[in-house]
Amino acid sequence: MALMTQSASSSSAKGGKKMSFMESQRLAKLKAYEKQAKKKNIKLEELSVFTQQLASMLEAGLPLVGALEALQDQTENPVFQIIIRDVRNDVASGTAFSEACAKFPRAFPNLFISMAEAGEASGGLAEILASTAVYFEDAVKLTKQVKGAMTYPIAVIGLAVVLVNVLLIFVIPVFAEMFADFGADLPKPTQFLIDLSEFLKAYIIYIIAGLVVFWQVLKRVTATPKGRRAKDVVLTKIPVLGELIKKINLSRFCRTYAILMRSGVPILRTLDIVSRAAGNTYIEAACKDVARHISQGGQVSEVLAENPYFPPMIKHMTKAGEQTGNVDGMMTKISDFYDAEIETLVAALTSLMEPILICFLGVVIGGIVMAMFLPIFQLSQVAGSG
């Protein structure tokens, strides 16, 4: 009996240690997530779902604290769970929802916070959050569309680079040893490939390291004001792709401006948010000019009319919107128009890239194969000259 009691006590102690270890692991993970909460960016797609669900719950009559608690439980991202938990706790203690969200600038962008402020001020938080969710959904859709169009060419170019390097580093040296026995000068294309193969074998590590360093330096340079300006100038001048990027920027500018104005956000605050959300130095500069002009009693269309980055359609429709008192409606129509053009341009670009990339692959791989078999085709001449 004593043995049984001792065994039970021992099992209980082991179980307690195991539970204690698991609890300590859970607490350690929780602390790690809490540290990430202030620094981690939340994906726009995830924020879109959160905003839509929160708006739906509020429209159904659920209190804000209860809606946040429900969203915390069903959110799969552990870091986002911590963020929602902290926002809920702040709201429960009397803090405004927008103010609680503003403590997490990486998770909630300026647009979301400003829309929440406007919703709280007007008493229509649910309606404004629903509009914000639609805006986020459109942005996610556009991003996916562009990324989807770029996936194919990037994959093909990546495959081409891998294949060419495999041929140059592993296959061509085998041919080079075979051709060395000929004892004669090789055709120039073949000799060039052999020299290139030897160079890559000797310096491939340094080339990769150099590319990594170059990429890091380029990222830092393009993060500076002058670097960002130079990047935007270069991107705008790229054929077809530059036009696509410009239309995406203009669509984002018009839609962001429209949703903020419709929600009752003050014009100067709207321009500040649009400027920061643009990610484009041309639009940032235009927003600053518009803000300065409005402060002096001017109108938006007057500045846009003098800015060469904005096409005539935006200038005329903005002016018409000001005359009819429906600027946000006009901006929404412009954004819809550009979204349709972007969709058409992406489809055309995708269909155009496919044959071009196939030809590119055929020329590169076929050229390498032909250059390596050229001495074999001329075997009698090469061998005879030896």
Segment 275-330, tens digit of pLDDT: 877 778 999 899 899 889 888 888 888 888 888 889 888 888 988 988 888 888 89
- The CA-to-CA distance between both ends of the chain, in Å, stands at 99
- What pLDDT is stored for residue 217 in this prediction? 93
The pLDDT tens digits for 111-146 are: 888 888 888 887 888 888 998 898 888 888 888 887
* Two tokens, residue 142: 């556009």
CA 140 to chain centre: 10
Q: How sure is the predictor about 3, in pLDDT bands with cuts at 50, 70 and 90?
A: very low
| Residue 153 pLDDT level (bands cut at 50, 70, 90) | confident
Backbone conformation region of residue 218, classed left if phi is above 0, alpha if psi is from -120 to 50, else beta: alpha
Contact 119, 129 (CB under 8 A): yes
Mean pLDDT of the chain: 83
Q: What is the token pair recorded at 188? A: 């120039």
Asked whether residue 148 carries a pLDDT value surpassing 50, the answer given is yes
Q: What pLDDT, in 10s, does the model give residues 179-197?
A: 777 666 778 888 888 888 8
Enter the tokens of residue 111. Answer: 């647009």
Quick one: DSSP state of residue 108?
S
Window from 94-103, 289-298, 374-383 with minimum mean pLDDT? 374-383
Per-residue buried b or exposed e for 191-223, using 16+ beta carbons within 10 Å of the residue's own CB: eebbeebeeeeeeeeeeeeeeeeeeeeeeeeee
Distances (CA, A) of 282 to 7, 262, 275, 286: 76, 24, 10, 6
For residue 92, the domain's CATH number is 1.20.81.30
Residue 29 lies in a domain: no
Q: Between 327 and 152, name the one with better pLDDT.
A: 327
The pLDDT score that the predictor gives to residue 22 is 66
Share of the chain above pLDDT 90, in %: 14
3-class secondary-structure state, position 169: helix
Confidence tier at 2 by pLDDT (50, 70, 90): very low
**E strands within 68-137?**
none
What are the C-alpha distances in Å from 273 to residues 114, 121, 317?
8, 18, 22
User: Do the domain assignments include residue 266?
Assistant: no
How many structural domains are present in the chain?
A: 1
In a domain, 76, yes or no: yes
* Largest interatomic CA distance in the chain: 101
Residue 103 domain-assigned (yes or no): yes
Report the pLDDT averaged over residues 211-228: 90
Q: For residue 315, is it within any domain?
A: no
**Looking at residue 16, what is its pLDDT?**
54
pLDDT at 26: 65
pLDDT at residue 381, rounded to an integer? 53
Query: Domain span at residue 82?
Result: 44-108
